[in-house]
């Protein structure tokens, strides 16, 4: 086998509490990660040496800063006999949307190299390697629906029922995660009581009224049009709506696909929209 193609899925955050900043620069969080069927497509091909990156998105970095390149380095250090790899990322998940596209691409590279070169690495071993690539990358090794704590690397698989129709609205703007966290600095100077997300998830259900995203006040005050998207989703029968990550994407969970399709018509003329479903493994 000289090449393989993998789907690199998006995620949304159901609730996101930022607790404090760590000495390593990362932040401790509480969140529920939820994987979507919506995905990028990543093609991996064997080469003699190094990592060669390309993409249909001309704005995607193809240097050592890319999570795919970082993942290649992590595997190469762990398995020095591995040769090179050519990676083409067909992007559908916009950058700066809070949907985890870069982290997902990094996880897909770890899994792709494992499969392509027959390395036989377990999911636990891939998760260890993923810690070297980025904060959200460990989630995408197993995916599904998981409680995320620590920097997002302390993960607990959840078996819960969620609405099957998910409408994602992606405004045409890029929001820097670094900028969003810098604006949270004042909030982090005050004492924060961590919500017990694990305790709130009972009987296989999420009490949505208790789940908030700390980035919403920051992002909505700077970009009120994004806050309006959330309001419109809730006004059009979404059971829950929220910013994902630090944005800019906003998503709504719908019990009825017909309601989700009707709501999509309100946004599709001026925003990228995606009606998708949970991704189950």
pLDDT of 58 > 80? The answer is yes
Average pLDDT of the chain, as a whole number: 92
Q: For residues 37 and 100, what is the distance between their CA atoms, to the nearest angstrom?
A: 13
- Containing domain of residue 189, as a range? 165-276
Q: Indicate whether 281 belongs to any domain.
A: no
Q: What share of the chain is helix, strand, coil (3-state, %, to 5)?
A: 30, 30, 35
Q: Quick one: pLDDT band at residue 193, thresholds 50, 70, 90?
A: low
> Does 175 lie in the same domain as 141?
no
11 and 37 fall within a common domain: yes
pLDDT digits (tens, 9 = 90+) for 231-260: 999 999 999 999 999 999 999 999 999 999
Average confidence (pLDDT) over 199-224: 85
Q: What is the pLDDT of residues 23-40, one digit of tens each?
A: 887 888 999 999 999 999
- In the structure, what pLDDT confidence band is assigned to residue 201 with cuts at 50, 70 and 90? confident
Number of compact structural domains in the chain: 2
Give which of 114, 109, 103, 232 is closest to 155, Cα–Cα.
103
Query: What is the set of active-site residues?
Result: 11, 136
CA atoms within 13 A on the CB side of 274: 23
Same domain, 182 and 149: no
Q: What is the mean pLDDT of residues 260-279?
A: 96
Reported pTM? 0.93
Asked if 214 and 184 sit in the same domain, the reply is yes
Residue 21, SS3? Answer: strand
Tell me how far the alpha carbon of residue 97 is from its chain's centroid.
Answer: 9
Four-residue CA torsion sign, 168, 276, 107, 68? negative
CA 269 vs CA 94, 169, 194, 260, 273: distances in Å: 17, 11, 39, 15, 9
């Amino acid at each position: 086998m000289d090449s393989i193609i993998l789907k690199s899925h998006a995620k949304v955050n159901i609730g996101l509490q930022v607790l404090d900043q760590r000495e390593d620069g990362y932040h401790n969080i509480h969140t529920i990660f939820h994987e979507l069927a919506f995905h990028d497509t990543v093609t991996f091909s064997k080469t003699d040496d190094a990592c060669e990156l390309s993409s249909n998105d001309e704005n995607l970095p193809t240097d050592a800063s890319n999570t795919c390149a970082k993942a290649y380095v992590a595997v190469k250090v762990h398995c020095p006999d591995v040769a090179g790899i050519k990676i083409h990322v067909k992007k559908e998940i916009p950058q700066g949307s809070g949907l985890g596209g870069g982290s997902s691409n990094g996880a897909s590279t770890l899994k792709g190299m494992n499969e392509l070169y027959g390395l036989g690495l377990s999911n636990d071993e891939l998760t260890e390697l993923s810690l070297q690539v980025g904060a959200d990358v460990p989630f995408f090794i197993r995916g599904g629906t998981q409680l995320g704590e620590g920097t997002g690397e302390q993960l607990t698989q959840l078996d819960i029922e969620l609405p099957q129709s998910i409408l994602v609205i992606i405004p045409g703007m890029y929001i820097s995660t670094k900028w969003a966290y810098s604006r949270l600095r004042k909030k982090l100077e005050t004492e924060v009581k961590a919500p017990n997300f694990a305790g709130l998830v009972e009987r296989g259900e999420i009490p949505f009224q208790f789940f908030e995203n700390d980035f919403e006040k920051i992002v909505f005050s700077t970009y009120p049009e994004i806050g309006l998207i959330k309001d419109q989703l809730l006004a059009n029968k979404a059971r829950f709506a929220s910013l994902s990550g630090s944005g800019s994407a906003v998503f709504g969970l719908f019990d009825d696909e017909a309601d989700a399709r009707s709501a999509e018509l309100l946004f599709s003329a001026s925003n990228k929209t995606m009606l998708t479903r949970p991704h189950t493994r």
